[in-house]
Structure 1
Amino acid sequence: METAVWINARFLPRPVSGVERVARELITALCEKLDENGSVTTAEGRCLNFRLIAPASSNAESPWPNLRLHRQGAGGGHLWEQTSLLAATRGDWLISLCNTGPMLKRRHVLYLHDAQTFAIPQNFTWKFRLWYRLLFSVAGHMSSAILTNSQYSCDELVKRVGLNPGRITPAWLGVEHATRTPPDLGVFAKHQIADTPYLLAVSSVNPNKNFASVLRALELLGPDAPPCVIAGQKYARVFGGSGIDETRVKHVGHVSDAELYALYSRAFCLLFPSFYEGFGLPPVEAMALGCPAIVSNTSVMPEICGDAVLYCDPADPATLVSAIQRLRADPVLRRDLVSRGKERTRHFSWSASAETLLKTLSRAVASRG
C-alpha cells in the first residue's frame, strides 16, 4: 500500500536561519533514506512516497534530486497554508517543519521549535504573537503528531500550550552541516576583521538573544575587552528594535556556512547569553568546530551542552565577564572545553533526527489506518 506524504516547502525561498536550517537539514537527511523516486518502505510494509509542495507563484526549485516539487494553489504565505495547501493535500499526509501549517489538517506531522511567543510574548509584535499563539494552539491539537527539538521544548509545549505530551516526540538536532564546506577565510578581509582574538555571537538581533548583556560585559572588561563580532540576520519587523549599540561590535550580517566556519575557527569563544532557547544551534556548531562557548544557565542550554561549556546568568552581565576572564586566564581550561565540546557533538546527528521523523510519521500513519 502506498501513502502520499507531502512536505510543506513554503520555506524554500527564504534565507536560511534557524527553522529553515532545521527543515533543509532534516529533508537532506531524510532523502538519504529514500529511493530515487522519493519512497521508503516502513517496517510495517507500507510504502511512503514523499514529495514537496509550494505555492504556484514560488520560484523555488527542489535541492533534492529524489524529491519532486509541485507548485499548486493561489496566493502565498500563511493564507496559502491555511487554504490552498489544506485543499491540495486533502486525504494525504503532510509534514510541516517550520512551526506553521494548516491548522485544520489532521493527517499532519507538525514541527514546533519552541514556545517563545507564550513564554516571552513581549519580544514579539502583537500581530505575530496573536497569530502564532492561535496557530500553535489549534494546529498543535489537530495534528496527528508533533515533533520538537529537545525535551525542554516538549515540556514547554505541554506547560504553556497545553499539548498532549504523548503526541510530542523530542529529537536533538544535528551538526553535520557545520563542517560540510571548507572555511572561507575571505570573510576576514571582507569585513575587516583583525587577526586578533575576538568574541563571537551568532544569531538574529532580537531582545531574547540578550546582546545588551554582551555589550555590558565589554564595558565591564574595560580597555582590555576583546573585539566582538556578531553574525546573523536582523528581523526588526518581527522583533522590533533591539537597541543594540553597534559602535562596540562589528555586525557582519548574514554569512555563508563557509564564512561562519571560518569565524568559529578563529574566535576566542562564542558568547550565547540567550534568555530562552528551544535548542540553540550556535553552541553546538561552536563545539563541533573547536570554539569554546559561554552560554546561559537557563532553558535548554544545560540539556544540550552538558559539561562542555561555561555557563553564565543571562540576567547578570558580571557572570559573563567572569566566564570570559576565567577562559582568558586558563589556557588548559580552554583546551579542555574544546576537547569536551567535540566529544559532546557526537550526540547530535541530522540522520538520527530524520530517523525519528520517519518513525514518528510511520506510527501516525499506522494509527490512522
Structure 2
Amino acid sequence: MRIGIDCRTILNPNGGELAGVGHYTYYLVKNLLLIDKENEYVLFFDNNFSDFEQFEAPNVKIVKLPFYQYKKYLPITYSQMLISAFFAREKLDLLHSPANVIPLFYRWPAVVTIHDLAIYKFPDFFPSGRILKQSFATKVLVPDSVSRAKKVIAVSQNTKDDIVDIFGIPENKIEVVHEGVISHGKNCPNQASFASVREKHNLSERYLLFVGSIEPRKNLIALVKAFKNYKLSEGENASDLELVFAGGKGWKNEGVFEAIKEANQILSAKGDVESIKYLGYVSLADKLSLIAHATAFVFPSFYEGFGLPVLEAMSMSTPVVASNASSVPEITGKDGAILVDPYKESEIQDAISQIISDEGLREQLAIKGHNRAQEFTWRRCAEKTLAVYLEAVSK
C-alpha cells in the first residue's frame, strides 16, 4: 500500500519548534516508520523544513512542496488546487491529513484526524478576526473533509462525540485513537537541571504549575482567583507557595494578566511578593524540569480536544488538579487526578487546599497518574492508526 501523509505541520523539533498538531504528526510518523516496514510512505513537507534525514528509510519517499514561500500570496482555493495536484500525482492508495483538513480538490481515498473543535463549541473564546479568518475552514474545509474521508480519526471519545453532534457523521465512520506521551518519570532524560531553572526564573521550592497558552478557554482567571483566595485563607502556611504559568500568549489574554496583577498586589500587601509568575514560552528542557518538580500541576480548562499537558504531568508522576470537562476525564481516568468543575471557582480552591495539605494524597496521585499515563504510547497510537488505514482502503 502506498500511503501519503501531509507533514506540513511538522516544524523543526531539533530547534524546539514542536507543538500542537505538529507534535502529533511528528511522533505518529516516527512510530509508523518503526512498526511498518511493508507499506510505502510518501511524506509531504514544506520546502522550508530542514531535518529530512530523520525520516529517511527504504520504504519512504520525501516530497518537498516548493511553494511554501509563496502561499501567503495565493488565494486559498488556488493553494488548495496546487496541494491537491501535488498529492494526486503520487498515485497514493491512501492519503492521511493529520490536521483537520483534506485538500479541497483531492478526490481519492483519504483519512483525516480531527483534534479540536473548540471554535465550534465556544466561539466566544476566540477573537472575531480569527473566526472570520477561519470561516472558510470551519464552514467549508472541515465539514467537507469529514464528509469525504473514508475514515475519520478522533483523538478522544469526546472529540468523536463532538464530530457526530456538529457534522452529523455516522459514529461507525469515526475511530478514536488517543495520542501518546514521550516523557516518563521524574528523572526522564532531556530535562534541564532544576537548580538552573529555578535560579533562572527565581522560583520558590513549592509551586503550582500551569503549562499552555494564555487564552480564555483555559479558565485561568478562575485559577488565579482560587489561588489568591487560598493564599489569603492560609496565611503564613502558604507564604512560600507560588503559581507559575508557562506558555505563549494566546488571544484575549488581557483579562488573565489583569487578574494576575491584581492578585499579586493584594498578596504583596500581605507580605507575599510576586506569588504568581508568568514565565512565557519555555524550552522543552525547562518545561520538563518545571513539571517534574512542581508540587502539583493545575489545568482547569473549559475544553480540550485531548489534554496533552495533563498527560505529560501524569507521566512524570506529578500530582494533577484538572477540570472534569470535555476530554480531560477521559485522559486522567477515575483516579489519576483531582477533577473539579471548571465553572466553580470554589472547587478549584478546595482542590488546591486538598493537594497542598495532604502529602499522602499527592503520593497516591503521583503513582496512579503515572500508571494511567503508561496506557498512552505513540507506538499504540501508530498501531491503531495503521489499522484505520487498512480498514479505509478496504472500503
- The answer to whether the superposition gives a TM-score over 0.5 is yes
Distance 1:277 1:96, change over 3 A: same
Q: Does 1:158 align with 2:164?
A: yes
Q: Does 1:343 align with 2:371?
A: yes
| One-letter amino acid matched to 2:40 | N
| One-letter amino acid matched to 1:269 | A
Q: Does 1:175 align with 2:175?
A: no
Q: Where in structure 2 are the equivalents of 1:85-234 lying within 5 Å?
A: 85-90=83-88, 91-92=91-92, 93-105=94-106, 106-124=108-126, 125-134=130-139, 135-177=141-183, 181-185=189-193, 186-194=196-204, 196-221=205-230, 222=232, 224=238, 226-234=241-249
CA distance in 2, matches of 1:289, 1:362: 34
Partner residue, 1:44: none
Deviations 1:214-259 (A, max 9, x none): 1111221225362111122223xxx344421254432222223322
Partner residue, 1:287: 314
RMSD: 2.1
Distance 1:76 1:187, change over 3 A: farther
TM-score in terms of structure 1 length: 0.88
Q: How many residues align?
A: 349
Distance 1:8 1:267, change over 3 A: same
CA distance in 1, matches of 2:9, 2:122: 24
Higher deviation after alignment, 108-117 or 265-274: 108-117
Partner residue, 2:300: 273
Query: Contact 1:296/1:312 (CA < 8 Å) preserved in 2?
Result: yes
* 2:288 aligned to which of 252, 261, 264: 261
CA distance in 1, matches of 2:43, 2:71: 15
SS in 2 for 1:311: strand
TM-score in terms of structure 2 length: 0.82
SS in 1 for 2:325: coil
Q: Does 1:70 align with 2:63?
A: yes
Partner residue, 2:10: 12
Which structure has more RCO (C-alpha within 8 Å, separation ≥ 6)? 2
Larger Rg: 2
> How far is the alpha carbon of 1:85 from its aligned partner?
1.8
CA distance in 1, matches of 2:321, 2:391: 39
Partner residue, 1:52: 43
> How far is the alpha carbon of 1:104 from its aligned partner?
3.8
> How far is the alpha carbon of 1:150 from its aligned partner?
1.1
- For structure 2, the 5+ residue unaligned runs are 265-275
- For structure 1, the 5+ residue unaligned runs are 41-47
Deviations 1:59-109 (A, max 9, x none): 433232324431135343766762222111214232111223313434211
Higher deviation after alignment, 87-96 or 342-351: 87-96
CA distance in 1, matches of 2:109, 2:150: 6
Distance 1:211 1:61, change over 3 A: same
Q: Where in structure 2 are the equivalents of 1:243-258 lying within 5 Å?
A: 243-245=255-257, 246-247=260-261, 248=264, 249-258=276-285
Partner residue, 1:43: none
Query: Contact 1:145/1:168 (CA < 8 Å) preserved in 2?
Result: yes
Q: Does 1:360 align with 2:353?
A: no
SS in 1 for 2:289: helix
The percentage of counterpart residues that share the same residue type is 26
